[in-house]
Amino acid sequence: MLLRTAQNPAPIVISGREFVWGARTYVMGIVNVTPDSFSGDGLGSDADAAVRQALQMREDGADIIDVGGESTRPGFAEVPAEEEMRRVLPVIEGLARELDIPVSVDTYKAEVAVRALDAGAAMVNDVHGFRREPAIVKVAADAGVPAVAMHMQRGRDFRDTIGDISTGLLESLRIAREQGLPEEQIIVDPGFNFGWTEEQALEMLRRLGELRALGRPILVGTSRKSVIGKVLGDLPVDERLEGTAATVALSIANGADIVRVHDVKEMARVARMTDAVVRGWSPERKL
Protein backbone atom coordinates (compact mmCIF):
# COMPACT_ATOMS: atom_id res chain seq x y z
CA MET A 1 0.00 0.00 0.00
CA LEU A 2 1.30 3.46 -0.93
CA LEU A 3 0.30 6.77 0.62
CA ARG A 4 -1.70 9.03 -1.74
CA THR A 5 -0.84 6.81 -4.69
CA ALA A 6 -2.16 9.15 -7.37
CA GLN A 7 0.12 11.93 -6.17
CA ASN A 8 3.30 9.99 -5.63
CA PRO A 9 6.17 10.97 -7.94
CA ALA A 10 7.96 8.24 -9.86
CA PRO A 11 10.75 6.46 -7.94
CA ILE A 12 14.30 7.81 -8.12
CA VAL A 13 17.33 5.53 -8.26
CA ILE A 14 20.22 6.86 -6.18
CA SER A 15 23.49 4.97 -6.26
CA GLY A 16 21.72 1.81 -7.39
CA ARG A 17 19.00 2.00 -4.73
CA GLU A 18 15.39 2.66 -5.67
CA PHE A 19 13.56 5.20 -3.54
CA VAL A 20 9.83 4.54 -3.88
CA TRP A 21 7.95 7.63 -2.72
CA GLY A 22 4.90 6.85 -0.62
CA ALA A 23 6.05 3.39 0.41
CA ARG A 24 7.76 4.69 3.54
CA THR A 25 9.66 7.68 4.89
CA TYR A 26 13.40 7.74 4.20
CA VAL A 27 15.91 9.04 6.75
CA MET A 28 18.85 11.24 5.82
CA GLY A 29 21.62 11.39 8.42
CA ILE A 30 23.55 14.65 8.80
CA VAL A 31 27.35 14.61 8.95
CA ASN A 32 28.76 18.10 9.49
CA VAL A 33 32.47 18.41 8.73
CA THR A 34 32.57 21.97 10.03
CA PRO A 35 33.95 23.70 13.12
CA ASP A 36 30.84 25.89 13.57
CA SER A 37 27.70 23.78 13.12
CA PHE A 38 24.67 25.34 14.86
CA SER A 39 23.79 21.96 16.34
CA GLY A 40 27.13 21.46 18.06
CA ASP A 41 27.93 18.32 16.09
CA GLY A 42 30.57 19.78 13.77
CA LEU A 43 33.55 17.44 13.43
CA GLY A 44 35.99 19.93 11.94
CA SER A 45 38.55 18.18 9.78
CA ASP A 46 38.36 14.81 11.55
CA ALA A 47 37.52 12.63 8.55
CA ASP A 48 37.88 9.38 10.50
CA ALA A 49 35.37 10.54 13.12
CA ALA A 50 32.97 11.57 10.37
CA VAL A 51 33.20 8.16 8.73
CA ARG A 52 32.60 6.44 12.07
CA GLN A 53 29.59 8.66 12.72
CA ALA A 54 28.12 7.89 9.29
CA LEU A 55 28.63 4.15 9.71
CA GLN A 56 26.79 4.30 13.04
CA MET A 57 23.98 6.25 11.38
CA ARG A 58 23.70 3.52 8.76
CA GLU A 59 23.45 0.97 11.54
CA ASP A 60 20.79 3.10 13.24
CA GLY A 61 18.58 3.26 10.15
CA ALA A 62 19.81 6.01 7.84
CA ASP A 63 18.97 5.59 4.15
CA ILE A 64 21.19 8.46 2.93
CA ILE A 65 24.16 10.27 4.48
CA ASP A 66 24.44 14.02 3.79
CA VAL A 67 27.95 15.44 4.16
CA GLY A 68 28.42 19.20 4.53
CA GLY A 69 31.55 21.28 4.83
CA GLU A 70 30.11 24.78 5.28
CA SER A 71 27.80 25.89 8.07
CA THR A 72 24.43 27.38 7.13
CA ARG A 73 23.63 28.77 10.59
CA PRO A 74 22.51 32.43 10.71
CA GLY A 75 25.51 34.73 10.34
CA PHE A 76 27.80 31.91 9.15
CA ALA A 77 31.05 32.74 7.40
CA GLU A 78 31.31 31.37 3.88
CA VAL A 79 34.41 29.31 3.17
CA PRO A 80 36.32 29.06 -0.11
CA ALA A 81 35.65 26.06 -2.31
CA GLU A 82 39.18 24.78 -1.64
CA GLU A 83 38.58 24.67 2.11
CA GLU A 84 35.16 23.09 1.70
CA MET A 85 36.67 20.37 -0.49
CA ARG A 86 39.48 19.80 2.01
CA ARG A 87 36.83 19.07 4.62
CA VAL A 88 34.38 16.92 2.68
CA LEU A 89 36.35 14.97 0.08
CA PRO A 90 38.22 12.64 2.47
CA VAL A 91 34.93 11.85 4.21
CA ILE A 92 33.05 11.16 0.99
CA GLU A 93 35.89 8.99 -0.31
CA GLY A 94 35.89 7.00 2.93
CA LEU A 95 32.12 6.60 2.94
CA ALA A 96 32.03 5.55 -0.71
CA ARG A 97 34.32 2.65 0.26
CA GLU A 98 32.52 1.69 3.46
CA LEU A 99 28.80 2.37 2.94
CA ASP A 100 26.14 0.54 0.98
CA ILE A 101 23.76 3.53 1.04
CA PRO A 102 23.97 6.74 -1.01
CA VAL A 103 26.09 9.70 0.05
CA SER A 104 24.87 13.23 -0.65
CA VAL A 105 27.02 16.36 -0.68
CA ASP A 106 25.53 19.45 0.96
CA THR A 107 26.91 22.31 -1.15
CA TYR A 108 25.81 25.11 -3.47
CA LYS A 109 29.19 25.38 -5.22
CA ALA A 110 29.48 23.72 -8.63
CA GLU A 111 33.21 23.16 -8.22
CA VAL A 112 32.72 21.33 -4.92
CA ALA A 113 29.90 19.25 -6.39
CA VAL A 114 32.11 18.08 -9.29
CA ARG A 115 34.85 16.90 -6.98
CA ALA A 116 32.41 15.35 -4.50
CA LEU A 117 30.68 13.33 -7.19
CA ASP A 118 34.06 12.19 -8.48
CA ALA A 119 34.89 11.10 -4.91
CA GLY A 120 31.78 8.94 -4.66
CA ALA A 121 28.80 11.15 -3.77
CA ALA A 122 25.57 10.21 -5.53
CA MET A 123 23.39 13.27 -4.91
CA VAL A 124 23.72 17.05 -4.59
CA ASN A 125 21.87 18.96 -1.84
CA ASP A 126 21.79 22.72 -2.53
CA VAL A 127 20.42 25.00 0.21
CA HIS A 128 20.13 27.85 -2.30
CA GLY A 129 17.94 25.91 -4.70
CA PHE A 130 20.38 26.31 -7.61
CA ARG A 131 20.12 30.13 -7.46
CA ARG A 132 23.64 30.91 -6.24
CA GLU A 133 25.40 28.80 -8.87
CA PRO A 134 23.00 27.46 -11.50
CA ALA A 135 25.88 25.49 -13.02
CA ILE A 136 25.61 23.07 -10.10
CA VAL A 137 22.52 21.60 -11.74
CA LYS A 138 24.43 20.92 -14.95
CA VAL A 139 27.03 19.14 -12.82
CA ALA A 140 24.30 16.85 -11.48
CA ALA A 141 22.79 16.39 -14.95
CA ASP A 142 26.14 15.47 -16.50
CA ALA A 143 26.78 12.97 -13.70
CA GLY A 144 23.27 11.51 -13.96
CA VAL A 145 22.50 12.05 -10.27
CA PRO A 146 19.50 13.64 -8.51
CA ALA A 147 19.59 16.97 -6.71
CA VAL A 148 17.76 18.53 -3.77
CA ALA A 149 16.55 22.10 -4.24
CA MET A 150 15.90 23.92 -0.98
CA HIS A 151 14.00 27.19 -0.75
CA MET A 152 16.12 29.81 1.01
CA GLN A 153 13.97 32.64 2.39
CA ARG A 154 16.82 34.65 3.92
CA GLY A 155 17.03 38.09 2.33
CA ARG A 156 13.70 37.75 0.51
CA ASP A 157 10.48 39.69 1.03
CA PHE A 158 7.68 37.83 2.79
CA ARG A 159 4.22 37.58 1.24
CA ASP A 160 2.80 34.17 2.11
CA THR A 161 4.65 31.22 3.64
CA ILE A 162 3.67 28.43 1.27
CA GLY A 163 3.23 30.86 -1.61
CA ASP A 164 6.79 32.12 -1.21
CA ILE A 165 8.15 28.58 -0.94
CA SER A 166 6.22 27.42 -4.00
CA THR A 167 7.40 30.40 -6.03
CA GLY A 168 11.00 29.79 -5.01
CA LEU A 169 10.89 26.08 -5.75
CA LEU A 170 9.22 26.65 -9.13
CA GLU A 171 12.14 28.92 -9.95
CA SER A 172 14.53 26.14 -8.92
CA LEU A 173 12.70 23.72 -11.20
CA ARG A 174 12.97 26.22 -14.05
CA ILE A 175 16.72 26.58 -13.51
CA ALA A 176 17.08 22.82 -13.48
CA ARG A 177 15.28 22.47 -16.80
CA GLU A 178 17.51 25.12 -18.35
CA GLN A 179 20.61 23.31 -17.09
CA GLY A 180 19.47 19.94 -18.41
CA LEU A 181 18.44 18.12 -15.22
CA PRO A 182 15.06 16.38 -15.64
CA GLU A 183 12.40 17.37 -13.15
CA GLU A 184 12.06 13.68 -12.31
CA GLN A 185 15.52 13.87 -10.72
CA ILE A 186 14.69 16.70 -8.31
CA ILE A 187 13.68 16.53 -4.64
CA VAL A 188 12.34 19.72 -3.03
CA ASP A 189 12.94 21.08 0.47
CA PRO A 190 10.85 23.97 1.89
CA GLY A 191 13.78 25.27 3.96
CA PHE A 192 12.38 25.03 7.48
CA ASN A 193 13.71 27.90 9.64
CA PHE A 194 15.87 29.36 6.84
CA GLY A 195 14.74 33.00 7.03
CA TRP A 196 11.39 32.50 8.74
CA THR A 197 9.96 33.70 12.02
CA GLU A 198 8.97 31.01 14.49
CA GLU A 199 5.30 31.51 13.60
CA GLN A 200 6.00 31.20 9.89
CA ALA A 201 8.12 28.06 10.37
CA LEU A 202 5.29 26.40 12.29
CA GLU A 203 2.80 27.46 9.63
CA MET A 204 5.08 25.84 7.06
CA LEU A 205 4.69 22.48 8.80
CA ARG A 206 0.91 22.87 9.13
CA ARG A 207 0.59 23.62 5.42
CA LEU A 208 3.33 21.31 4.15
CA GLY A 209 0.83 19.14 2.30
CA GLU A 210 0.13 22.02 -0.10
CA LEU A 211 3.60 21.51 -1.57
CA ARG A 212 2.50 18.10 -2.88
CA ALA A 213 1.06 20.12 -5.76
CA LEU A 214 4.61 20.55 -7.07
CA GLY A 215 4.64 16.85 -7.88
CA ARG A 216 8.10 16.25 -6.42
CA PRO A 217 9.31 14.26 -3.38
CA ILE A 218 9.58 16.47 -0.28
CA LEU A 219 12.55 16.55 2.08
CA VAL A 220 12.13 18.28 5.44
CA GLY A 221 14.89 19.19 7.89
CA THR A 222 13.59 20.35 11.28
CA SER A 223 16.25 18.64 13.39
CA ARG A 224 17.35 20.64 16.45
CA LYS A 225 16.31 23.93 14.81
CA SER A 226 16.05 27.13 16.85
CA VAL A 227 12.26 27.36 16.58
CA ILE A 228 12.04 24.13 18.59
CA GLY A 229 14.17 25.61 21.34
CA LYS A 230 12.12 28.81 21.30
CA VAL A 231 8.74 27.09 21.53
CA LEU A 232 9.92 24.86 24.39
CA GLY A 233 11.23 27.69 26.53
CA ASP A 234 14.60 28.58 25.02
CA LEU A 235 15.98 25.06 25.28
CA PRO A 236 19.60 24.55 24.23
CA VAL A 237 20.40 22.43 21.16
CA ASP A 238 21.14 19.28 23.15
CA GLU A 239 17.65 19.31 24.71
CA ARG A 240 15.59 19.49 21.52
CA LEU A 241 15.18 15.76 20.86
CA GLU A 242 11.51 15.52 21.82
CA GLY A 243 10.64 18.69 19.93
CA THR A 244 12.44 17.37 16.89
CA ALA A 245 10.51 14.10 17.18
CA ALA A 246 7.20 16.00 17.17
CA THR A 247 8.14 18.00 14.07
CA VAL A 248 9.41 14.89 12.26
CA ALA A 249 6.16 13.03 12.95
CA LEU A 250 4.05 15.97 11.79
CA SER A 251 6.21 16.46 8.70
CA ILE A 252 5.57 12.84 7.71
CA ALA A 253 1.85 13.11 8.43
CA ASN A 254 1.72 16.20 6.20
CA GLY A 255 3.54 14.68 3.25
CA ALA A 256 7.31 14.51 3.81
CA ASP A 257 9.11 11.73 1.93
CA ILE A 258 12.57 12.24 3.50
CA VAL A 259 13.47 13.62 6.93
CA ARG A 260 16.95 15.04 7.43
CA VAL A 261 18.10 14.49 11.02
CA HIS A 262 21.04 14.45 13.43
CA ASP A 263 19.63 11.83 15.83
CA VAL A 264 19.15 8.97 13.39
CA LYS A 265 18.36 6.13 15.79
CA GLU A 266 15.58 7.99 17.55
CA MET A 267 14.13 9.66 14.44
CA ALA A 268 14.19 6.43 12.41
CA ARG A 269 11.94 4.97 15.10
CA VAL A 270 9.71 8.04 15.02
CA ALA A 271 9.46 7.72 11.23
CA ARG A 272 8.63 4.03 11.41
CA MET A 273 5.90 4.58 13.98
CA THR A 274 4.45 7.53 12.08
CA ASP A 275 4.51 5.53 8.86
CA ALA A 276 2.55 2.76 10.59
CA VAL A 277 -0.21 5.26 11.33
CA VAL A 278 -0.08 7.28 8.10
CA ARG A 279 0.70 4.59 5.54
CA GLY A 280 -0.78 1.52 7.24
CA TRP A 281 0.74 -1.41 9.10
CA SER A 282 0.32 -5.13 9.59
CA PRO A 283 2.56 -7.78 11.20
CA GLU A 284 3.48 -9.05 7.73
CA ARG A 285 4.38 -5.64 6.34
CA LYS A 286 7.78 -4.18 7.16
CA LEU A 287 8.22 -0.44 6.91
Q: According to the 3-state scheme, what is the secondary structure of the chain? A: CCCCHHHCCCCEEECCEEECECCECEEEEEEECCCCCCCCCCCCCCHHHHHHHHHHHHHHCCCEEEEECCCCCCCCCCCCHHHHHHHHHHHHHHHHHHCCCCEEEECCCHHHHHHHHHHCCCEEEECCCCCCCCHHHHHHHHHCCCEEEECCCCCCCCCCHHHHHHHHHHHHHHHHHHHCCCHHHEEEECCCCCCCCHHHHHHHHHCHHHHHHHCCCEEECCCCCHHHHHHCCCCCHHHCHHHHHHHHHHHHHCCCCEEEECCHHHHHHHHHHHHHHHCCCCCCCCC
Candidate list 115, 225, 240, 279, residue with the active-site label: 225
- Confirm if 151 and 165 have CB atoms less than 8 A apart: yes
Residue 159 falls in the annotated catalytic set = no
Residue 265 falls in the annotated catalytic set = no
Candidate list 260, 265, 279, 286, residue with the active-site label: 260
CA-nearest of 107, 105, 109 to 93 is: 105
Which are the catalytic amino acids?
225, 260
